[in-house]
Amino acid sequence: MEKIGVGLIGTGYMGKCHALAWNAVSGVFGGELKPELVTLAEVNEELAAARAKDFGFAKSTGNWRDMLADPDIHIISITTPNEFHPEMAIAALEAGKHVYCEKPMAPSFEDAQKMLEASRKSGKKTFLGYNYIQNPMMRRIRDLLNAGEIGDVLQIRLEMDEDFMANPDDEWGIKSGAASGFGALDDFGVHTMSLLMALDLRIAKVMCHMTKPYATRKDASGNDKTVETYDAATVLFELENGGNGTLQLNRSAWGRKGRIAVQIFGSKGSIVYDQERMNEMHVYKAEGDVAGQGYTTILAGPAHEPYDRFIPAPGHGLGFNDLKIIEVNEILKSLQGQESHLIDFERGIFIEGLVQSMAKSHEQSGWVTV
Amino acid sequence: MEKIGVGLIGTGYMGKCHALAWNAVSGVFGGELKPELVTLAEVNEELAAARAKDFGFAKSTGNWRDMLADPDIHIISITTPNEFHPEMAIAALEAGKHVYCEKPMAPSFEDAQKMLEASRKSGKKTFLGYNYIQNPMMRRIRDLLNAGEIGDVLQIRLEMDEDFMANPDDEWGIKSGAASGFGALDDFGVHTMSLLMALDLRIAKVMCHMTKPYATRKDASGNDKTVETYDAATVLFELENGGNGTLQLNRSAWGRKGRIAVQIFGSKGSIVYDQERMNEMHVYKAEGDVAGQGYTTILAGPAHEPYDRFIPAPGHGLGFNDLKIIEVNEILKSLQGQESHLIDFERGIFIEGLVQSMAKSHEQSGWVTV
Amino acid sequence: MEKIGVGLIGTGYMGKCHALAWNAVSGVFGGELKPELVTLAEVNEELAAARAKDFGFAKSTGNWRDMLADPDIHIISITTPNEFHPEMAIAALEAGKHVYCEKPMAPSFEDAQKMLEASRKSGKKTFLGYNYIQNPMMRRIRDLLNAGEIGDVLQIRLEMDEDFMANPDDEWGIKSGAASGFGALDDFGVHTMSLLMALDLRIAKVMCHMTKPYATRKDASGNDKTVETYDAATVLFELENGGNGTLQLNRSAWGRKGRIAVQIFGSKGSIVYDQERMNEMHVYKAEGDVAGQGYTTILAGPAHEPYDRFIPAPGHGLGFNDLKIIEVNEILKSLQGQESHLIDFERGIFIEGLVQSMAKSHEQSGWVTV
Amino acid sequence: MEKIGVGLIGTGYMGKCHALAWNAVSGVFGGELKPELVTLAEVNEELAAARAKDFGFAKSTGNWRDMLADPDIHIISITTPNEFHPEMAIAALEAGKHVYCEKPMAPSFEDAQKMLEASRKSGKKTFLGYNYIQNPMMRRIRDLLNAGEIGDVLQIRLEMDEDFMANPDDEWGIKSGAASGFGALDDFGVHTMSLLMALDLRIAKVMCHMTKPYATRKDASGNDKTVETYDAATVLFELENGGNGTLQLNRSAWGRKGRIAVQIFGSKGSIVYDQERMNEMHVYKAEGDVAGQGYTTILAGPAHEPYDRFIPAPGHGLGFNDLKIIEVNEILKSLQGQESHLIDFERGIFIEGLVQSMAKSHEQSGWVTV
């Protein structure tokens, strides 16, 4: 048994999620390599200290750079707003730390490239927080595709919808400003691209159309302010294998809370999945008696690795946070040189490039080859 | 009470459906105008005679032109393959008959235009068999939209999927030949366009991408034969009202049997529907306590006109064939000068034009203004 | 080809349903024996005449006894309130007519027995309107059970719920009076017993508990009036084959509109069905890779007889009224001496007896052997 | 901030679940009182040591009695097979420790009573592991009931089904022996009784029927051995408030993995829930326009306490293990004298008594007043 020292920057939505995962992974998975929660960094010392106690970190700091020189820290979790990713990731890599960074890599493609370069120079490992690919159901889908269970993949439709930007009466906020990126496309749409990657499906060509449900929003003074980002994006794509599909991304979709709907049509069957019911998947196989054909609803269970590490009984259900625990375990496996299932900066840059191609397609109103 | 004499051409899928509807409409709806089933035409006299007995037609013929001069026939139902629509519809109109023709109007746009011209000249009424718009659930959706219940329509996604062309081992048939049209787009995709029309949503601009899941199929001799039609089509569109959306049409979608999935996102809520569960719709309204918000699943019932004409109890379920009975009743209403809910040649030509614009967009790989 | 003359008594919910079915059956099924709609009887001549025109009956009458002596009438459909069934059915049988009577046979068991005796004496055929057994999905379930696809039937749960008596503010009506029977048990609960019969499952022993959600209701003058019937009934039962199960019947179940939920657990799998989604069934088989096991959702289609007589395409959906058309076709088959799938008075009396045993069990608060 | 020392006995299904929860609770909830994982006990020293490292316990032991005298341990988690609960719980209480014991209390009612007596004498707190009551959806249901949102509770149906005993080819194991208890009733059926308790619904009278799907199973030598427990139990009950309902418990229900289906019918609406989709609930209210009435599907979110402690975004989903974290947090609240939502031995004995009454009813084939 060995230890790996962890530093974490940020304690918001994803910061907490990382903290819980680092804390839980050993209990859930056992494993030889044990994380040691060394330092927690936040914007000020007080907050950092309070959270460190809750999350079980030994030390805390109001200055994340304090962690760079700490020899007890081997990996740094970065969960700050996207604009801080490049500076932090590059500094951490240069300091000889492995980097575990939330997606997407960076608001600008240039910065993402710099992050990649830094990682190459450092010889350290990098990991991106594309947690949805860790769902045992998603792994099962990949295995079915690879085994040819539904034949050739002909068409895939991905929808990712939430409604946190759906209320037209909500004030103009940073997500409406161009500095935050394109909008739905990179804000959360990259998750759908990570799923394609995890399923070994490679996009060759895109046609993207982005829209603004609301052209303006009130600012704090009650004046109309122009919305600069696109809350909805739709992408046609062709796959390298000859198949095709669509991404439909919408963060203004009233009623949708955590929807990532996947439909995969193959030459011998099809697969359907929706993240809002993340413990289920549906498989149709065109075989046997027609009178008995239909979608089979499979509930996640111990037969779907690594569900059994959490619960020995099927149908009892994993939660969203459990995906992060699986992700962290994959990181530990990678750090031990074992086969793992992750997206690093090398693969992540492909997703960032996809976003650029899509944005370019939108501007040009035409198809763009990736 | 008055009578209207009916002639019917064809006894296949839709022919039978028309026959059953003409026969049932008076029992279901009562109404002043009663259809009289006069003549049934088929490709030969024997088949026509046999079916006429089953369907309750007084006369039968192997030559549909026999009906043109019959003064007892006032309306002719045309349910033959699409390529015969123009000749028959134009002849019927010129003979002074009303025309009730299955969708789409014709394989070629020029022919559809000739049909429209004939109808204008004749002064007779025309009706197209876009039966899905007759579902009480669909009318309810229209009413909700018009009443502003979900606010402005921001995005609409329509998927129409079946799997009758999904088997790569099926032989090359007429639906794989260019003479049958473009493929999924006009073969059944026009139904989704009729729904948009019925919901008073008008497409302004389209970007279409059509694909061939299987490039070839075996002919009867076992040789590879090139597939000329597109079994799948995806269309991005913008609406005149500023909203946008997609059509996803696929007749090779294993597992889907009669899916017409509709998602409508508005500024105050959303509506979801799937024809495979045609007696249900789901409405989300962003109002009241957040803890109680969610999609409400509404089962069709007497509160949704004209369900009550079929069954006085809610949740008992209409069937596909019942939609045709409603359609025929709308025709009877129209013929009596009452307000009705139908798509005639004047409105139908807009759908045919949409198909042309979409096909053009596909060829040009770019947006086309309708 | 032959004709069979039909007389129909009643034009309410079920009367209209019979009329539509008699009218449609030949168009849907073809078949050698054609029904001829001879006479429609209602409580007065005017109503009878108006409905006869709508429903296509040649004659009408305000006195149902007029039909008894009519040699053109061979079968009489009885759709009046249950209390009139015995008089009408016995008179019709004595007049040498076949009888097609809505369920249940009669409010009193003695009357039901008299009806059975009359049928035996007459040598005529009798048919009860247990239409839910005609659903192609239900036939498919029977076939699966008989083929041993889910092994031995170990437990079956049936729930039948509607909410037409759920509003406590509704006035006291005839369904709250003891003259109408026991309440949910015989009012609609008999349908669940017909399903067991159709599935060849025979109840041996019952334990019944009936309850009154509301002890009183307001009468028309606003005074409290005691409710005499039980809007809810729950029955434990043992099957002759050693299995067991429950009936849960509730006509005061807010939110349920036409629910007949069936769960059948066997030694090798299970089957789930809900009439509110009458075109679906779900089958679980404990075979093959555990990772792929789950309920398969089967959509009704041409593979499920006789769906194809209505629609050649799967997943398009039958409706409630279509079940009656299938029922009438089964009657025509029976009248031609063909194998049919129906419940006649001989089998119907078993259901009536079950109701008696259940009521007795409730009174005695103990198990009763059937 | 204060610390509470935790000792845990057992590392199986529930042992691991407790360990994960004790470890995670502070990170998820913050809170003043922090658990300190002191000692882990297993059947031998080696296993205990290995698991202690994974789960973060400071010490380990092969003899659980070692913990009794340890002043650093304030609460002992008992997760061993039910037969060991009494000895361990009583010893812990006598040693002045709080006790957190998995359900049910004990295989025999006498032992459960002794546990209660010990707890009363000790003045220490006791907690039972009825984790399903901790689901935010279940709390929401309780709040809706208490607020009268669906009016008076008239009928409640609870089904709890899994299939771990469904395979007739599985060998005879301890769960088939009488020493393990009655079978489904106490093995897992007590969970449904905890839900009723959590919803403030009190059973007054029961009628129970237990059945054995398989009379014998093969022992290890391949000989038939009599099954002594009942894998299925059905219970009719009356509530103190005048309502009624059923429990249907089956651990041989092929296809069901973690089903706890709840249907609650009230005078103004109804509520439906299924643990297999534990992040959803469905509410029907009989109010407003009939055309818009239906079940509203509510996805768990921050509006449903304490979901927001896990994830700030709605619809992302809690998992089964998260329920245990909530349970442990309730324990910490209780230990700090705050209001909490738990079942202690005082309330737990009522559930044990219910089981006894049900078993007695089964033996007597009649109703038993609780």
What tens digit of pLDDT does each residue of C2-19 get? 899 999 999 999 999 999
Q: Is the pLDDT of residue B317 over 80?
A: yes
Q: Is the pLDDT of residue B278 over 70?
A: yes
Kindly report the three-state secondary structure assignment for every residue of chain B: CEEEEEEEECCCHHHHHHHHHHHHHHHHHCCCEEEEEEEEECCCHHHHHHHHHHHCCCEEECCHHHHCCCCCCCEEEECCCHHHHHHHHHHHHHCCCEEEECCCCCCCHHHHHHHHHHHHHHCCCEEECCHHHHCHHHHHHHHHHHCCCCCCEEEEEEEEECCCCCCCCCCCCHHHCHHHCCEHHHHCCHHHHHHHHHCCCCEEEEEEEEECCCCEEECCCCCEEECCCECEEEEEEEECCCCEEEEEEECCCCCCCCEEEEEEEECCEEEEEEHHHCCEEEEEECCCCHHHCCEEEEECCCCCCCHHHCCCCCCCCCCHHHHHHHHHHHHHHHHCCCCCCCCCHHHHHHHHHHHHHHHHHHHHCCCEEC
Alpha-carbon gap: D139 to the closest alpha carbon of chain B (Å): 12
Please tell me which of the candidates C54, C317, C320 has its beta carbon nearest to residue B320: C317
Could B303 and D283 be called an inter-chain contact, meaning their C-beta atoms sit closer than 8 Å? no
Cis bond upstream, residue D104 (ω within 30): yes
E strands, A201-293, in order: 203-211, 216-218, 224-226, 232-239, 244-250, 259-266, 269-274, 280-285
Numbers of helices and strands, H then E, in chain D: 9, 17
B210, B362 in Cβ contact below 8 A? Answer: yes
Could A236 and B232 be called an inter-chain contact, meaning their C-beta atoms sit closer than 8 Å? no
Torsion of CA A98, A99, A100, A104, to 10 degrees: -150
Q: Nearest to residue A251, comparing CAs of D313, B291, B149?
A: D313
**307-326 in B: which are within 8 Å (CB) of C?**
310-322
DSSP-derived 3-state class of residue A326: helix
The Cα A318–Cα A324 span in angstroms is: 11
**276-295 in D: which are within 8 Å (CB) of A?**
276-279
The Cα C224–Cα C218 span in angstroms is: 5
**17-36 in B: which are within 8 Å (CB) of C?**
17, 19-20, 23-24, 26-28, 30-31, 34
CB proximity D147 to B under 8 Å: no
The Cα C229–Cα C208 span in angstroms is: 15
Q: Return the pLDDT at C1.
A: 54
CB proximity D97 to B under 8 Å: no
From chain D, the residues in CB contact with A313 under 8 A are 13, 162, 164, 257-258
Could A257 and D27 be called an inter-chain contact, meaning their C-beta atoms sit closer than 8 Å? no
Q: Which residues pair with B15 in a beta bridge?
A: none
Hey, how many other C-beta atoms are within 10 angstroms of the C-beta on A45?
A: 13
Could C167 and D286 be called an inter-chain contact, meaning their C-beta atoms sit closer than 8 Å? yes
Q: For residue range C132-191, what is the model confidence (pLDDT) as tens digits?
A: 999 999 999 999 999 999 999 999 999 999 999 999 999 999 999 998 899 999 989 999
The Cα C157–Cα D161 span in angstroms is: 12
Q: Return the pLDDT at A314.
A: 98
Q: For residue range D41-77, what is the model confidence (pLDDT) as tens digits?
A: 999 999 999 999 999 999 999 999 999 999 999 999 9
The Cα A252–Cα A122 span in angstroms is: 40
In CATH, A2-124 is 3.40.50.720: yes
What tokens were used for D320?
A: 């089964």
From chain B, the residues in CB contact with D295 under 8 A are 296-297
Alpha-carbon gap: A370 to the closest alpha carbon of chain B (Å): 16
Instruction: Give me the amino acid identity at B146.
Output: N
CATH topology of domain C132-312+344-369: Dihydrodipicolinate Reductase; domain 2 (3.30.360)
Could B303 and D290 be called an inter-chain contact, meaning their C-beta atoms sit closer than 8 Å? yes
A272, A282 in Cβ contact below 8 A? Answer: yes
What tokens were used for D153?
A: 């509770």
Please tell me which of the candidates C296, C301, C304 has its beta carbon nearest to residue A296: C296
DSSP-derived 3-state class of residue D80: coil
Q: Return the pLDDT at D255.
A: 98
Cis bond upstream, residue B312 (ω within 30): no
From chain C, the residues in CB contact with A301 under 8 A are 290-291
Q: How far apart, in Å, are the Cα atoms of D240 and each of D201, D245, D269?
A: 8, 12, 20
From chain C, the residues in CB contact with B332 under 8 A are none
Per-residue DSSP letter, C49: H
Cis bond upstream, residue B107 (ω within 30): no
From chain A, the residues in CB contact with D261 under 8 A are none
Q: Nearest to residue C229, comparing CAs of C247, C207, C251?
A: C251
- For chain C, the domains span 2-124, 132-312+344-369
Q: For residue range A201-214, what is the model confidence (pLDDT) as tens digits?
A: 999 999 999 999 99
Q: What is the CATH code of the structural domain delimited by A133-316+343-369?
A: 3.30.360.10
CB proximity A3 to D under 8 Å: no
From chain A, the residues in CB contact with B151 under 8 A are 168
Instruction: Give me the amino acid identity at A343.
Output: I
Kindly report the three-state secondary structure assignment for every residue of C122-135: HCCCEEECCHHHHC
Could A26 and D277 be called an inter-chain contact, meaning their C-beta atoms sit closer than 8 Å? no
Instruction: Give me the amino acid identity at C12.
Output: G
From chain A, the residues in CB contact with B268 under 8 A are 254
Please tell me which of the candidates B254, B272, B286 has its beta carbon nearest to residue A266: B254
CB proximity B110 to C under 8 Å: no
DSSP-derived 3-state class of residue A132: helix
Instruction: Give, for all 370 residues of chain A, the pLDDT tens digit.
Output: 589 999 999 999 999 999 999 999 999 999 999 999 999 999 999 999 999 999 999 999 999 999 999 999 999 999 999 999 999 999 999 999 999 999 999 989 999 999 999 999 999 999 999 999 999 999 999 999 999 999 999 999 999 999 999 999 999 999 999 988 999 999 889 999 999 999 999 999 999 999 999 999 999 999 999 999 999 999 999 999 889 999 999 999 999 999 999 999 999 999 999 999 999 999 999 999 999 999 999 999 999 999 999 999 999 999 999 999 999 999 999 999 999 999 999 999 999 999 999 999 999 999 999 9
The Cα D256–Cα C293 span in angstroms is: 11
Q: For residue range C289-347, what is the model confidence (pLDDT) as tens digits?
A: 999 999 999 999 999 999 999 999 999 999 999 999 999 999 999 999 999 999 999 99
From chain A, the residues in CB contact with C289 under 8 A are 303
CB proximity C360 to B under 8 Å: no
Q: Are strands B59-61 and B33-41 parallel, antiparallel or unpaired?
A: parallel
The Cα D148–Cα D153 span in angstroms is: 9
The Cα A238–Cα B212 span in angstroms is: 12
Alpha-carbon gap: D151 to the closest alpha carbon of chain B (Å): 16
Instruction: Give, for all 370 residues of chain D, the pLDDT tens digit.
Output: 589 999 999 999 999 999 999 999 999 999 999 999 999 999 999 999 999 999 999 999 999 999 999 999 999 999 999 999 999 999 999 999 999 999 999 989 999 999 999 999 999 999 999 999 999 999 999 999 999 999 999 999 999 999 999 999 999 999 999 988 999 999 889 999 999 999 999 999 999 999 999 999 999 999 999 999 999 999 999 999 889 999 999 999 999 999 999 999 999 999 999 999 999 999 999 999 999 999 999 999 999 999 999 999 999 999 999 999 999 999 999 999 999 999 999 999 999 999 999 999 999 999 999 9
Q: How far apart, in Å, are the Cα atoms of C150 and each of C191, C204, C246, C283, D211?
A: 23, 22, 19, 9, 19
Q: Return the pLDDT at B1.
A: 54
From chain C, the residues in CB contact with D234 under 8 A are 236, 244, 246
From chain B, the residues in CB contact with D289 under 8 A are 303
D134, D327 in Cβ contact below 8 A? Answer: yes
DSSP-derived 3-state class of residue C22: helix
Give the chains touching A; criterion: ≥3 Cβ pairs < 8 Å. Answer: B, C, D
Alpha-carbon gap: B344 to the closest alpha carbon of chain D (Å): 29
Q: Return the pLDDT at C187.
A: 87
Q: How far apart, in Å, are the Cα atoms of C369 and each of A79, B212, C186, C198, C239?
A: 68, 64, 19, 21, 11
> Mean pLDDT throughout B326-336?
98
B368, B235 in Cβ contact below 8 A? Answer: no
Residue written as tokens 């404990």? C286
The Cα D58–Cα D49 span in angstroms is: 9
CB proximity B225 to C under 8 Å: no
A307, A280 in Cβ contact below 8 A? Answer: no
Q: Nearest to residue C207, comparing CAs of D185, D264, D235, D193?
A: D235
CB proximity D254 to A under 8 Å: no
Could D154 and C252 be called an inter-chain contact, meaning their C-beta atoms sit closer than 8 Å? yes
DSSP-derived 3-state class of residue A345: helix
Residue written as tokens 């995906």? A323
Interface test with A, best of C273, C293, C308 (most A CBs within 10 A): C293
CB proximity C138 to A under 8 Å: no
Q: Is the ipTM of this complex over 0.90?
A: yes
D39, D75 in Cβ contact below 8 A? Answer: no
The kind and range of the H/E element at C349 are helix C345-364
> Mean pLDDT throughout B250-271?
98
Per-residue DSSP letter, C83: G
CATH topology of domain B132-369: Dihydrodipicolinate Reductase; domain 2 (3.30.360)
Alpha-carbon gap: B315 to the closest alpha carbon of chain C (Å): 5
Residue written as tokens 């249940």? C104
Q: For residue range B42-74, what is the model confidence (pLDDT) as tens digits?
A: 999 999 999 999 999 999 999 999 999 999 999
CB proximity D299 to B under 8 Å: yes
Q: For residue range D266-308, what is the model confidence (pLDDT) as tens digits?
A: 999 999 999 999 999 999 999 999 999 999 999 999 999 999 9
Q: DSSP assignment of C261-316, as one string?
A: EEEEEESSEEEEEEGGGTTEEEEEE--S-GGG--EEEEEP-TTSTTHHHH-SSTTS
* Class level of CATH domain D133-314+341-369: alpha beta
